[in-house]
Amino acid sequence: MSAVLEVSGLEVFYGASQILFGIDLKIEQGQTMALLGRNGAGKSTTMKAIAGVVAPRAGRIAFGGKQMAGMKPYAVARLGLAYVPEDRQVFPEHTVRDNLLIAAKKGPQGQDEWTVSRIWQVLPLLERLRDRPAGRLSGGEQQALVIGRALMGNPTMLLLDEPSEGLAPIVVSSIGDLLRALRAQGATVLIAEQNMHFCLGVASDAVVIDKGKIVYRDNIAGLRENAEVRSQYLAM
């Protein structure tokens, strides 16, 4: 299998302070990769750099063999990478339906299987809220909306930054169901998370990031067995 997304030597600075110290990541077709780490370890910055929201100082990001480090977010999105930010960032005054419609586009190879009606099928709670301004949804409803919004772009890969953050357990489990369903359909996903238990249930592989470096990589079963890594890098 060839890597869909390949990150190497990624370095990001915010002003004078360095956040990422040479991140290497390789995600293959159909993998759901968990990027785990404590608060401040560099998870969100890694996601933002891949999505083009922050510009890396050094390193390479190849998606489908195409170099994209330094591209603008819309160019990254048009290559088929859909980014769901940590703080969700719904358009609060637009309705649920308009949030989805703004994001509608064909995939990089002209894919158009995701439509508003298909989103209603996989996320039925959204259909009931279709005319409500997104700013008036609960956190869980907003999270479902932004995942749906990302799918509306018919991406070939999803970047989900902390999809379980701040959500009630029942909502987390329904988002987990959705991600497992996407995985069963062959979706390629990178999830940044602090919530290891959530990732154990949805991911196929895991990498652990600490202080801006990848310190561990294995499949998800390996992480489940490795109490030492879990306590050293992921203990709450």
Partner 1 sequence: MDLDALGRCVSTASCLVTQTTSGLIAGLLLFLVAAGLTLIFGVLKVVNFAHGTFYMLGGYIAFTTLQVTESYTLAVLAGGAAMAVFGIFFERALIARVYGQDVLMQLLVCYAVVLIFDDLVKMVWGADFLAMGMPPAFQVPPLFIAGGIVPPFYAVLIGIALVIAIALAASLSGTRAGKTVLAAAQNPTMVSALGVNTDRLFAVVFAIGAALAGLGGALAAPVRSLTPGMGFSVLIDSFIVTVIGGMGSIAGALLASVGVGLIRGFGTIGFPTFTDGLIYVAMIIVLLLRPTGLFGREVV
* Cβ 95 to partner 1 shortest distance, Å: 9
* Cβ 100 to partner 1 shortest distance, Å: 10
* Cβ 76 to partner 1 shortest distance, Å: 8
* Residue 227 burial by Cβ neighbours in a 10 Å radius (0-12, 13-18, 19+): exposed
| 91 C-beta neighbours (distance < 10 Å), count | 16
* Closer to partner 1 by Cβ: residue 91 or 120: 91
* Closer to partner 1 by Cβ: residue 151 or 182: 151
Binding site for partner 1 (CB under 8 A): 51-53, 72-74, 76-78, 82-83, 85, 89, 91-94, 98, 101-105, 149, 153
* Cβ 78 to partner 1 shortest distance, Å: 5
* Closer to partner 1 by Cβ: residue 94 or 217: 94
* Cβ 103 to partner 1 shortest distance, Å: 4
* Closer to partner 1 by Cβ: residue 83 or 216: 83
* Closer to partner 1 by Cβ: residue 63 or 83: 83
* Closer to partner 1 by Cβ: residue 50 or 229: 50
20 CB-near residues (< 8 Å, 6+ apart): 10, 11, 12, 42, 45, 46, 49, 56, 212
* Cβ 98 to partner 1 shortest distance, Å: 5
Beta-sheet pairing, 188-193 with 205-210:
unpaired
Sign of CA dihedral 181, 184, 185, 190: positive
